Structure 1
Amino acid sequence: MSTFTELGLRAELLQAIEALGFEQATPVQSETIPILLEAKGQTDMVALAQTGTGKTAAFGLPLLHMLLEDGEPSAKNRPKALILAPTRELCVQISTEMEKYATETGLRMLAVYGGAAMRTQITAMKKGVDILMATPGRLLDLNRQGQVLFDDLEYIILDEADEMLNMGFWDDVQEVLKQAPEGRNIWCFSATLPKPIDAMTKTLMNEPVRVQIGQRNSGTATVTHTVFVVPKEHRYSGLRRLLDSAPGLYGMIFCRTKIETQELAERLVAEGYTASALHGDLSQQQRDLVMQSFRHKRVKLLVCTDVAARGIDVQDLSHVIHFGFPNDTESYTHRSGRTGRAGKSGESWALINPMERRKIAFIQKMIQREMLQSPLPTRDEVLARQVSHFAEEFAAHPEAPEVIKPLVEAVMPRFEHMTSRELIERFFAAELHELVQHYVNEQAEVPSVRAQKDRKERGGDFEDRGPKRQRGMDSPAEQRFAINIGESHGFTWFSLKDFLRETVRLGENDVQGVNCGADQSYFNVPESRVDDVQTALNGAQVKGVEVKLDAVDDQVGRFERERGPRNDRFGGGRPQGKFGDRGGYQGGRGGYQGGGGGGYRGSNDRGGSSDRGGYQGGGGGYRGGSSDRGGYQGGGGGGYRGGSSDRGGYQGGGGGGYQGGGDRGGYQGGAGGAGYQGDKPRGGSWTQRQESPDWARGGDDRADAFNRGASDTSFGGGDRKPRLSSGGKPGFGGKPAFGGNRFGGGPGGKPSFGGGKPGGRKRL
């Protein structure tokens, strides 16, 4: 590696680099900077290097050097250099680093991205900007408004180009490149080179210089990879064992889903860890607060999804933990590459279940590193590491300040009867009380699965597992509540959590396990706060609703649904209850409070007499029975594209079908009215039908052209295209205008499009 002074950079830049404490350039910097400086702004480049290898300085320093050499300031709304990044976080991060390098240059910079006020960005652009950092979407928005012009662009840098492709921004990127003037320089920095990017380098770039640091997808040499195989039901306990075995750990925990991310973060916080969740359901402001806390190490554990973590670059991470292998093995490399940077060592721990072991060989081959399979630390090992860590911190602590000494003197008589050993033992016991208590009370060691355990030996691992929720994360002493407010009252997951905290004056981590439903939500609070919650919330008025609070079992209202027996292929479904049994594959869906209905691939294609059954008796089939979803309290109706109505009528109202007669039928006996693409899509009331027979028959100025599928259209029958109709008079519950079902027949006349026989179940 070279020193920065050997690379030929201008004095202003070397001064800033020295102030930042950098001396040695990284491999990607040593390779790219001399090439770009020597070309003097007359070359394109493709540089492949993993995340965290110093790419920002690799393109940022030569860019600053070139602009200083040029000496001409940019014109209004016309930047000379553009740096494109996939995410707001990376855009801000690049801007922050570039400003540090440019402290002595006088160059003007601006970062523009979505989620921030556009007016502020427009005002800054009008003052003149030399280097513009941007996300593709916001850049094109400003360009279309004439607030950012590409006429004077001399340099375009694509940072994390593969991530922009993965996130769906590649069309925007190519639009920017095509608008840029001839002769501009394009520098493409990426961890990988997918085919679309490789194609772009051949069509939009001019014989680019190619630089590759390390082999593609290879793991960083400073990262140690360890795999812990644990039965799925013990995965959280295993994670806690790992966290406790590494005092001072500062890292990221990757999960596959948003729900798993949120639940895991909540459980960690409830048990005393400083953790935060980062996933796609957070607003930009919430993401910023989470990342600010994590970067300043107020939060030591960032629980995140792969998508939410894209573009995030945090220094000095000691560990990356995989809460299960990612679905895409290439993501393992990106995850692990976030630790072990700048020559420091890092740990990549994968906590997997036995079924995931088959991926180990693939990942080892890809990263070209051995993955050590190890058992979890024992309880004694965890406690020994905690005591050793605390002893080191205690011994290294500076002498007590003067203000403390007289206070200690006052309490010394309480300890005079103790020996020094006894005093130290009690001090350690007090400091590590909660941790010791947890491991002393733990029923048994968390079972690790041996690396080469035979499948037959694993037979007992999956028996007697209990309910799914109990197989997940251990629960502290909490009470779960159901509350009759939710999304229909304007709440989201976060706003409901904030509302509960503020109304009851709960602590930051007292509200856990929140599930915000449409009209009912669920949450957990510590048992010590149950009385406060009930007093503050029961009977309170929230957005016109009187709050009702019910204590429920801890399994109620969780995100994951319970499943029926695994060996019951034709039943399964939800447990019996208010909403009936939906059934499983080739089973019945059932209705609400008795509504009938066949199952998928039952007597019809999703229904015998109904798809999902009607409410209190209404029926109807999907593309084949009497109606799609049936009527309310007996309302009849035809099927989708075939029967008398789409969804039937309300309390007896009939109606034509979708693209047949009425859309949804009438109200309390009202006529179905003309159907979709006819007239009056929901029909008229009974009174209106009596007073206006033309309306009842769909007989306005479009009636002849669109509504009449037969010679005498009664109550909303008819077909937009009469020539295709082969049914009889549709009438009120009579034969449908389409004369049956296109996809398998229904009640009524002959099939109109050569479909199956009436009552058949031919698949679409």
Structure 2
Amino acid sequence: MSLFESMGLRSEILSAIQELGFEQPTPIQEKAVPFLLESDQDMVALAQTGTGKTAAFGLPIIQQIDNTLKAPQALILSPTRELAMQIANDLNTFSKNMSKFNIAVLYGGADIRAQINSLEKGAQIVVGTPGRTLDLIKRGKLRVNEIKWLVLDEADEMLSMGFKDDLDGILKDTPAEKQTLLFSATMPAEIVSIASKYMDNPHEISVGKKNTGSENVEHHYYLVHAKDRYLALKRVADINPNIYSIIFCRTRMETKEVADKLMQDGYNADALHGDLSQAQRDHVMARFRSGHLQMLVATDVAARGLDVNNLTHVINYNLPDDPEVYIHRSGRTGRAGKKGISITLIHMREKGKLRDVERKLGRKFEKQDVPQGREICEKQLFNLIDKVEKVEVNEDEIEQYMPVIYKKLAWLDREELIKHFVSVEFNRFLTYYEGAQDINVDEHGYDERKEDRKDRNARGRSERGERGRPERGGKGRRGDYQYSRFFFSMGKKNGISKRSIIDMINQQMPGKSVEIGSIEVLKGFSFFELDNRYERDIVKAFKNARFKGQKVNIELANKKK
């Protein structure tokens, strides 16, 4: 007999959760479900998001609902539209084998008439956001004066989003004899105030210490100069090829800037911020939930209600001012028994703030070194090999192309073929990180780059000419290479980035190890430098090149007419 069966749940509910693959209850479910089935005492539950809270309150409520009564018996309030919809979907799944059972979900930004219709059909459970719920109460379309259960899910989030007045307006119309259930990840003073005002001697359960993070999450920080924060972010992404992460920024402007940079640099990323329409927001969130996006850049407000269980990392582009905000962020990874990593990028002035978060969290952060280029190249190389080894070959589809492929590659022996194949991807990272600097800063703020900066700048001026650009005829010399400078007919408005130019050079000149110099990407066009021994080869290689369907033109910059 499973623990779910021993709790006394009805067979219709047990069959539904068995179909979902529920085998053993989570700690919050193990504590909450038996209590709510046996007691009508109010309850405060402290648990991180993603620990199975919906089933913890949903299963006992569904069990005890009178489905012959076509009126609201349970009201569940959540801070966001997305979370409300998710709760309603979960409850519909848990109750799918029960007849005459109706659930209404209420939220802003949607047709209110459809929501009124769902209430008029006789919904026994109502799930809603505070604003729309209060609106429908004032319109007389939602009556909460006879409800038996009131659930405040993620109550701390509702308060931080400014819903206190809405909650007060809703709660004053509910009956005194109802059972009130409050679920929260943290226990700030406002939650204590609500509990004392609207709850009667609540029973408290917890699956962790108050105001602390999940035990499944490691907390890392990287110490860099503020100007190097984006470079550090890219290296963290590159050293984790299978990253699936939310990147938190302070402002919507910063969110847009970071997301735009990541996308221009070829990363599978997008932004979530307050300027998006609901349709745009839903599209981005659907792509992220389905795994089509690896990185989602978001503000705290925009990410509320986004519930994803498989995040490998949470990245704090900035350390939040409120330690409890950090606890919420980090709690989005390390769910469902899996391990997760919360990463924070800080500069010297934020070290004191980091200590405040550590005290609140009750955990020490581990200082990590920003990965170096060679380390990243090695990780990406072996990740590529793992993918090739495990890829599923579609024999039927690829068979017709194999004779041409065999003929094309017949001149290569086994070792050379492997080298060529691996280099297609490996050269991209090798070129990008060649000469990459160490951007780590030690605990005392020491940066070894400062020690040789004057010497390096002087050397750069002498090698490249007074203004730092190649001399005469588009050519310049640095180190052991002479470079030619080329005009490239596309720029930022076409989606071109430094990485996309490097990728195109590697694609158009396969098998050739071409030294690439500086790259300058402007709005409508770009410039790049290349080993001058390949001047003719590069022009010939790009003769029929295209980028996203558009023809690409390149020519030697400043060439004589």
TM-score bucket of the superposed structures, by smaller chain:
0.7 to 0.9
Please state if 1:323 is matched with 2:329.
no
| Equivalent position SS for 1:285 | helix
Please state if 1:19 is matched with 2:19.
yes
- Scaled by the length of structure 1, what TM-score is found? 0.59
Worse-matched range after superposition: 5-14 or 397-406:
397-406
TM-superposition CA deviations, 1:146-179 (whole Å, max 9, x none): 1111133111111011111111111211221110
- Residue pair 2:75, 2:151 contacting (<8 A) in 1 also: yes
- Residue pair 1:29, 1:57 contacting (<8 A) in 2 also: yes
For 1:48, the equivalent position in structure 2 comes to 46
More strand by share: 2
Shift in Å, 1:407: 1.2
Specify the code of the residue in structure 1 equivalent to 2:83: L
Shift in Å, 1:415: 1.6
Specify the code of the residue in structure 1 equivalent to 2:325: S
Please state if 1:239 is matched with 2:230.
no
- Residue pair 2:219, 2:341 contacting (<8 A) in 1 also: yes
Write the distance in 2 (CA, Å) between the matches of 1:446 and 1:3.
53
Q: Write out aligned runs for 1:308-707 (5 A).
A: 308-440=302-434, 443-450=435-442, 452-453=443-444, 525=523, 527=525
Write the distance in 2 (CA, Å) between the matches of 1:461 and 1:135.
57
- Residue pair 1:159, 1:188 contacting (<8 A) in 2 also: yes
TM-superposition CA deviations, 1:637-669 (whole Å, max 9, x none): xxxxxxxxxxxxxxxxxxxxxxxxxxxxxxxxx
Write the distance in 1 (CA, Å) between the matches of 2:345 and 2:18.
41
Flag the 1:6–1:393 CA change in 2: closer, same or farther, 3 A: farther
Specify the code of the residue in structure 2 equivalent to 1:60: G
Shift in Å, 1:477: 9.8
Flag the 1:459–1:509 CA change in 2: closer, same or farther, 3 A: closer
Worse-matched range after superposition: 5-14 or 229-238:
5-14
Write the distance in 2 (CA, Å) between the matches of 1:287 and 1:413.
48
- Residue pair 1:45, 1:210 contacting (<8 A) in 2 also: yes
| Equivalent position SS for 1:276 | strand
- Percent sequence identity over aligned pairs: 40
For 2:62, the equivalent position in structure 1 comes to 64
Write the distance in 1 (CA, Å) between the matches of 2:362 and 2:153.
25
| Equivalent position SS for 2:302 | coil
- Residue pair 2:186, 2:324 contacting (<8 A) in 1 also: no
Flag the 1:454–1:134 CA change in 2: closer, same or farther, 3 A: closer
Please state if 1:175 is matched with 2:169.
yes
| Equivalent position SS for 2:270 | strand
Shift in Å, 1:29: 0.8
| Equivalent position SS for 1:402 | helix
| Equivalent position SS for 1:307 | helix
Please state if 1:73 is matched with 2:69.
yes
Specify the code of the residue in structure 2 equivalent to 1:131: I
For 2:75, the equivalent position in structure 1 comes to 82
Write the distance in 1 (CA, Å) between the matches of 2:206 and 2:180.
17
Specify the code of the residue in structure 2 equivalent to 1:51: T
For 1:117, the equivalent position in structure 2 comes to 111
Write the distance in 2 (CA, Å) between the matches of 1:508 and 1:278.
22
- Residue pair 2:186, 2:212 contacting (<8 A) in 1 also: no
Specify the code of the residue in structure 1 equivalent to 2:444: K
What residue ranges of structure 1 are gaps of 5+ in the alignment? Answer: 467-475, 482-505, 511-522, 530-764
Write the distance in 1 (CA, Å) between the matches of 2:275 and 2:291.
23
Write the distance in 2 (CA, Å) between the matches of 1:12 and 1:307.
38
For 2:86, the equivalent position in structure 1 comes to 93
Flag the 1:179–1:259 CA change in 2: closer, same or farther, 3 A: same
| Equivalent position SS for 1:179 | coil
- Residue pair 1:231, 1:461 contacting (<8 A) in 2 also: no
Write the distance in 2 (CA, Å) between the matches of 1:22 and 1:427.
44
Write the distance in 2 (CA, Å) between the matches of 1:462 and 1:213.
52
- Residue pair 2:78, 2:158 contacting (<8 A) in 1 also: yes
| Equivalent position SS for 1:423 | helix
Write the distance in 1 (CA, Å) between the matches of 2:339 and 2:201.
37
For 1:499, the equivalent position in structure 2 comes to none
Flag the 1:12–1:341 CA change in 2: closer, same or farther, 3 A: same
- Scaled by the length of structure 2, what TM-score is found? 0.79
TM-superposition CA deviations, 1:343-402 (whole Å, max 9, x none): 101111111112212233222222222211121111111011111111111111224422
What residue ranges of structure 2 are gaps of 5+ in the alignment? Answer: 458-487, 499-520, 528-561
TM-superposition CA deviations, 1:269-304 (whole Å, max 9, x none): 111111111112222222111111110111111101
- Residue pair 2:74, 2:126 contacting (<8 A) in 1 also: yes
**In the alignment, which of 103, 108, 120 is matched to residue 102 of structure 2?**
108
Flag the 1:257–1:477 CA change in 2: closer, same or farther, 3 A: farther
Calculate the aligned-residue CA RMSD, in Å. Answer: 2.8
Flag the 1:477–1:206 CA change in 2: closer, same or farther, 3 A: farther
Q: Write out aligned runs for 1:214-225 (5 A).
A: 214-225=208-219
| Equivalent position SS for 1:219 | coil
Specify the code of the residue in structure 1 equivalent to 2:69: P
Flag the 1:73–1:509 CA change in 2: closer, same or farther, 3 A: farther
Shift in Å, 1:3: 3.1
- Residue pair 2:85, 2:105 contacting (<8 A) in 1 also: yes
TM-superposition CA deviations, 1:475-526 (whole Å, max 9, x none): x997579xxxxxxxxxxxxxxxxxxxxxxxx67999xxxxxxxxxxxx9755
Shift in Å, 1:435: 2.8
Worse-matched range after superposition: 82-91 or 42-51:
42-51
Write the distance in 2 (CA, Å) between the matches of 1:508 and 1:79.
55
- Residue pair 1:79, 1:129 contacting (<8 A) in 2 also: yes
Write the distance in 2 (CA, Å) between the matches of 1:344 and 1:98.
24
Specify the code of the residue in structure 2 equivalent to 1:248: N
- Residue pair 2:310, 2:335 contacting (<8 A) in 1 also: yes
Specify the code of the residue in structure 2 equivalent to 1:73: L
Flag the 1:298–1:524 CA change in 2: closer, same or farther, 3 A: farther
Give 1 or 2 for the bigger CA radius of gyration. 1
TM-superposition CA deviations, 1:324-358 (whole Å, max 9, x none): 21121221111111001111011111111122122
For 2:555, the equivalent position in structure 1 comes to none
Specify the code of the residue in structure 1 equivalent to 2:331: G
Please state if 1:229 is matched with 2:223.
yes
- Residue pair 1:48, 1:211 contacting (<8 A) in 2 also: yes
Flag the 1:55–1:463 CA change in 2: closer, same or farther, 3 A: farther
| Equivalent position SS for 1:403 | helix
Shift in Å, 1:204: 2.0
Shift in Å, 1:458: 10
Specify the code of the residue in structure 1 equivalent to 2:17: I
Shift in Å, 1:419: 1.7
- Residue pair 1:269, 1:509 contacting (<8 A) in 2 also: no
Write the distance in 2 (CA, Å) between the matches of 1:323 and 1:204.
38
Write the distance in 2 (CA, Å) between the matches of 1:432 and 1:126.
61
Flag the 1:358–1:197 CA change in 2: closer, same or farther, 3 A: closer
| Equivalent position SS for 1:427 | helix
Shift in Å, 1:239: 0.9
- Residue pair 2:372, 2:436 contacting (<8 A) in 1 also: no
Worse-matched range after superposition: 367-376 or 238-247:
367-376
| Equivalent position SS for 1:152 | coil
Write the distance in 1 (CA, Å) between the matches of 2:492 and 2:401.
44
Aligned residues: 472
**In the alignment, which of 139, 143, 164 is matched to residue 145 of structure 1?**
139
Shift in Å, 1:268: 0.4
- Residue pair 1:86, 1:136 contacting (<8 A) in 2 also: yes
Higher normalized contact order (CA 8 Å, seq sep 6+, divided by chain length): 2
More helix by share: 2
- Residue pair 1:237, 1:446 contacting (<8 A) in 2 also: no
